[in-house]
Amino acid sequence: MAEPHPFHSPRTHGFVRVAAATPVVHIADPMANAQEHAALIRQAGEAGCDLVVFPELSLSGYAIDDLHMQAALLDAVDRQIGELARAVGEAGLVAVVGAPVRHGDRLLNTAVVLAGGEVTGVVPKTYLPNYREYYEKRWFSSGDDIGAETIRIGGQDSWIGTRLLFEADDRPGFVVGIEICEDFWAPVPPSTRQALAGARILLNLSASNIVIGKADERAMLCSSQSARTLSAYVFTASGWGESTTDLAWDGQATIHELGAKLASGERFALESHLTIADVDIARIGQDRLRNGTFADCARRELDEEGCIRLGFRTHPSPGGGGLRRPLDRFPFVPDDPARLDQDCFEAFNIQVQGLMRRMTATGAEKLCIGVSGGLDSTQALLVACRAFDRLKLPRTNILGFTLPGFATSEGTKSNAWALMTALGVTGEEIDIRPAAERLLADIHHPYADGQPVHDITFENVQAGLRTDYLFRLANQNRAFVLGTGDLSELALGWATYGVGDHMSHYNVNGGVAKTLIRHLIRWVAEREPEGGASDVLNAILDTEISPELVPAAADGQIQSTEATVGPYALNDFFLFHITRFGTSPSKVAFLAHQAWGDASRGHWPANTPDAERFACDLPTIKAWLRKFLIRFFQTSQFKRSALPNGPKVVTGGSLSPRGDWRAPSDGNARVWLDELDAHVPEA
């Protein structure tokens, strides 16, 4: 069987597969606990994991009280550490286990790092709880004064200290920081400085007992710490088998990255198990790179001693299948219905308030908008109606114009009229064909002589006239022109520059991706029906996206935008990952293939019609990505460098030259195309 191309491995693209282990606990029985560990380590290795982390004091059990002070128990723990080191070496990963460890004349609650058949290092717990049900200071000493010292453990010489980080020798960015349970609840957790020192994956070995509501608190802290430190945070707590003399245990395990939950394990399970996810250390690095505050804080907060990095190597199994983490097909549109409802509420109101503020600032009481019967002008008109309602202005002051040209269909024109009528705005129709014919004749275009030449000039004469009419109508009515072009079109340069749909007095859609606009219109249609407009809104959603500038072909096929620039679903996916994280084209292609390669896999946003649920193979994704790279990096920036004002809406960023994206208008796409060709196979 042929070896799979490296492109198809998540590891190639900067992912590290981590596992939070939840073993069955055997009270004060290090050998039995080590056997549970070894089985989970083998399982993690077979699943292609690079890293597996166990709960606090996992080799001895946590709730064993004064048994921690027994020499026989501590000797047994030490022996099992040596045995487990060999098992970890065979599995080809790095494992972090919890153990009580003697160091000099004190006992420490520690995390022991095992890799390559050896004990790589030991991290002691800093903050020991000694309140309410906790009595750790009865048995353990804090390791806060141990920066980096040598220790004899598991029959080997190794390092111990709170200033230790662990770095894969062969995996850039695979840097691990470790804290233990209560450390996590401190106002300044050790993991904060570990992250500032370069750790991208933070681990918490916990024996936190469970009471009502505590699981939510732990998940909140994990999410918050991963967001604040721009990291991944892996948490695993003791579960079944721990002593329930006075406490209970749920075995909670979670994996978060940059604030988002990647995976969570079964709580109150009765069997040992793993919670696995692929952590994107490359994305974490890119996010830190573009966040200057992170580097400034590191420079301010880290002292001269810094951290010591101890190296390790992994050789994980090539198995494990595809990417193991949530991956949105629509980065601008959440899958969860409640979150989608919240996002639509926020996006709509951002647009509305932006327009309201511009109107109050200019003193305008009227606006002009071109209403085509398409998605973008529909959304802009809905925003305008809500803004006028909140400003207590009559909707009749919204002057909507349908401007049919040579390819305007009866369907879109009737939808435009039905929408304006349902919303109660002032509607008017101006046929631009006579003016377009005169202009084409004046410039001696072949179409004026009866030739069927439908080139870019033919198209832009119509697009330019529409905007020209709107600006002059705005002058005449003491109004301003409301733009309708969206974020996705700006990314692709799909706008007629200058006196065309590129320009307006204010553009409410410039920060909204096309895929989100679809759901915003559905949201208005289903949750906030506007004067009986729901039927026409749904009809507009069912209409193929077209600029309607070129007459239909002899077979009746209309001009299709997506046939030219590619599916907006893919283009929005490309746009998000390239602008939000600076992701390389090959990784974007890999992620797109994972998200779009199989329509039956994964979740779709609520209310997505079956007709919009499609799949793409890798060659198709590569071809459309190539077109996107050329349009985005090489041919369209000059349009984005001269954009009208409009509010930023989505977390992926805006393309305003005054906002998230600033680029030279004279750039080219060579380095992105070369990277795509060098690293993405044809299949």
So which residues are the catalytic ones?
A: 56, 125, 181
631: which DSSP letter?
I
378: which DSSP letter?
H
| 59 within 8 A of 97, measured Cβ to Cβ | yes
Q: How far apart are CA 189 and CA 182, in angstroms?
A: 9
Phi-psi region of 18 (alpha: psi -120 to 50; beta: other; left: phi over 0): beta
Q: What angle do CA 469, 471, 476 make, to 5 degrees?
A: 90
Report helix, strand and coil shares of the chain as percent, to nearest 5.
40, 15, 40
Distance of CA 229 to the CA centre of its chain: 16
First to last CA, the chain: 16
Residue 46: both structure tokens together = 């077979």
For residue 115, give the amino acid letter.
Answer: A
Q: Name the one residue in this structure whose structure tokens are 């129709």.
A: 429
Q: How far apart are CA 208 and CA 201, in angstroms?
A: 20
231: which DSSP letter?
S
Residue 588: both structure tokens together = 């974007």
DSSP annotation string for 434-493:
HHHHHHHHHTT-GGGGT-----HHHHHHHHHHHHHHHHHHHHHTT-EEEE---HHHHHHT
For residue 154, give the amino acid letter.
Answer: G
Q: How far apart are CA 637 and CA 642, in angstroms?
A: 9
Q: Pinpoint the alpha helices (H) of 92-162.
A: none
Which residues are bridge partners to 570 per DSSP? none
DSSP annotation string for 310-343:
EEE-----S-S-S--S---SSTTS-SSHHHHHHH
φ, ψ of residue 8 in degrees (nearest 5): -80, 0
Q: Pinpoint the alpha helices (H) of 363-455.
A: 375-390, 410-423, 433-442
CA-wise closest residue to 384 among 375, 402, 374, 397? 397
- Write the CA distances from 485 to 85, 402, 403, 542, integer angstroms: 60, 16, 16, 19
| 613 within 8 A of 601, measured Cβ to Cβ | no
| 636 within 8 A of 545, measured Cβ to Cβ | no
| 427 within 8 A of 418, measured Cβ to Cβ | no
CA-wise closest residue to 488 among 634, 671, 628? 628
DSSP E strands in 58-174: the ranges are 94-103, 106-115, 118-124, 149-153, 156-160, 164-168
Distance of CA 346 to the CA centre of its chain: 18
How many helices and strands in the chain, by DSSP H and E?
20, 20
Strand 201-206 to strand 175-180: parallel, antiparallel, or no bridges (unpaired)? parallel
Q: How far apart are CA 104 and CA 26, in angstroms?
A: 27
